[in-house]
């Protein structure tokens, strides 16, 4: 498992690598542009080359890109649909250029519209973005079960993949906070094993490419998306240890998004804690 964190690209893409190394990460995740603005960031060929050179010289083993939060593949608004397509394609193309292992996407939200039609629109948006990009995988993230956002369970993730064409570039990113909040009990090894069985049956473990490791301020089935620092929420240290030691999660990048650092960013202490909790979980499993 490659344990790491979301890091900032402030000052240039290559700075994300140095920040990841400073945090003792084994993998990193970045935004390709400001996550709360449509304006794209123009990354120069030099900036991309500097990132790749720094990454190749580092101990990091994986990079992921998180698409911006404004993207809504299910929108009926023409301007939002156009901007969503443009931004998602830009993220995928940057993923190609950086050699990223995937672009993580929140597929979209109904915004009061009928569910089935919203799913179809999201599938078309995803398919169109894949058609206008090249190699980088697109990873659909599970949501916290709130009313509106799509992908709250494995049935919806599987349906979105089918609606988007079912190609091999399509995968999933599973967030521990979102799992618990949407009603999946994952704090004990046996229950987590059953959840992973369901994921395998409905989506396929071959499509699981990435983990987000976040604790939850919201209890089991609370259906709200509120991250907590790992070990400080409803999952707790024992739950995070269980999640990180699931045998079928081996070799996956496992990225912390919320931490005790400045502004709630992951810190070196958070990364070290995740590594320690994984070790504790493996020891409890007799591995």
Q: CB neighbours of 105 closer than 8 A, spacing ≥ 6? A: 67, 71, 73, 88, 126, 138, 139, 140, 141
Q: Mean of the pLDDT values across residues 260-271?
A: 94
Nearest to 9 by CA among 39, 47, 36, 38: 47
For the chain, the helix, strand and coil percentages under 3-state DSSP, each to the nearest 5: 45, 15, 40
Rounded CA gap, 232 and 218, in Å? 11
Mean pLDDT of the chain: 96
Full-model pTM: 0.96
Domains along the sequence of the chain with CATH: 2-284 (3.20.20.150)
Beta-bridge mates of residue 171:
139
Which DSSP letter does residue 165 get? T
Taking 90 as the threshold, does the pLDDT of residue 147 lie above it? no
- Look up residue 21 and give its two tokens: 């190394």
Rounded CA gap, 126 and 150, in Å? 13
- Look up residue 161 and give its two tokens: 């993949």
User: What was the pLDDT predicted at 39?
Assistant: 87
Contact 22, 267 (CB under 8 A): no
Taking 90 as the threshold, does the pLDDT of residue 167 lie above it? yes
CA–CA distances in Å: residue 224 to residues 149, 160, 169, 196, 199: 11, 21, 29, 22, 21
- Using alpha carbons only, give the angle 212, 14, 26 rounded to the nearest 5 degrees: 40
146-149-153-156 Cα dihedral, nearest 10 degrees: 150
Rounded CA gap, 174 and 52, in Å? 26
Measured from the Cβ of residue 38, the count of other Cβ atoms closer than 10 Å reads: 15
pLDDT tens-digit series, residues 191-214: 999 999 999 999 999 999 999 999
Nearest to 60 by CA among 19, 102, 121: 19
Using H for helix, E for strand and C for coil, what is the string for 107-157? CCECCCCCHHHHHHHHHHHHHHHHHCCCCCCEEEECCCCCCCECCCCHHHH
pLDDT tens-digit series, residues 8-43: 999 999 999 999 999 999 999 999 999 889 988 889
* DSSP SS3 for 53: helix
pLDDT tens-digit series, residues 217-247: 999 999 999 999 999 999 999 999 999 999 9
């Amino acid at each position: 498992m490659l344990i790491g964190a979301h890091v900032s690209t402030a000052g240039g893409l290559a700075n994300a690598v140095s920040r990841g190394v400073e945090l003792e990460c084994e993998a990193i995740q970045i935004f390709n542009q400001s996550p709360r603005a449509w304006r794209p960031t123009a990354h120069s060929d030099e900036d991309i080359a500097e990132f790749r050179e720094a990454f190749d010289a580092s101990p990091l083993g994986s990079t992921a890109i998180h698409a911006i939060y404004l993207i809504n593949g299910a929108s009926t608004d023409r301007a939002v649909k156009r901007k969503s397509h443009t931004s998602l394609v830009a993220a995928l193309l940057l993923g190609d250029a950086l050699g990223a292992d995937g672009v993580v996407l929140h597929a979209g939200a109904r915004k009061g519209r009928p569910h089935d039609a919203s799913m179809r629109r999201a599938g078309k948006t995803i398919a169109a973005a894949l058609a206008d990009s090249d190699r980088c995988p697109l990873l659909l993230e599970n949501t916290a079960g709130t009313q509106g956002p799509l992908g709250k369970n494995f049935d919806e993730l599987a349906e979105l993949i089918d609606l988007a064409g079912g190609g091999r570039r399509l995968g999933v990113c599973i967030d521990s906070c979102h799992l618990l909040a949407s009603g999946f009990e994952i704090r004990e090894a046996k229950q987590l094993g059953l959840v992973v069985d369901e994921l395998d049956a409905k989506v396929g473990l071959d499509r699981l490419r990435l983990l987000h490791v976040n604790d939850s301020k919201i209890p089991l089935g609370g259906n709200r998306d509120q991250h907590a620092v790992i070990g400080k929420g409803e999952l707790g240290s024992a739950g995070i240890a269980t999640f990180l030691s699931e045998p079928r999660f081996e070799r996956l990048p496992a990225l912390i998004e919320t931490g005790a650092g400045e502004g709630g960013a992951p810190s070196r202490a958070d990364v070290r804690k995740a590594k320690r909790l994984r070790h504790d979980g493996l020891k409890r499993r007799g591995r």
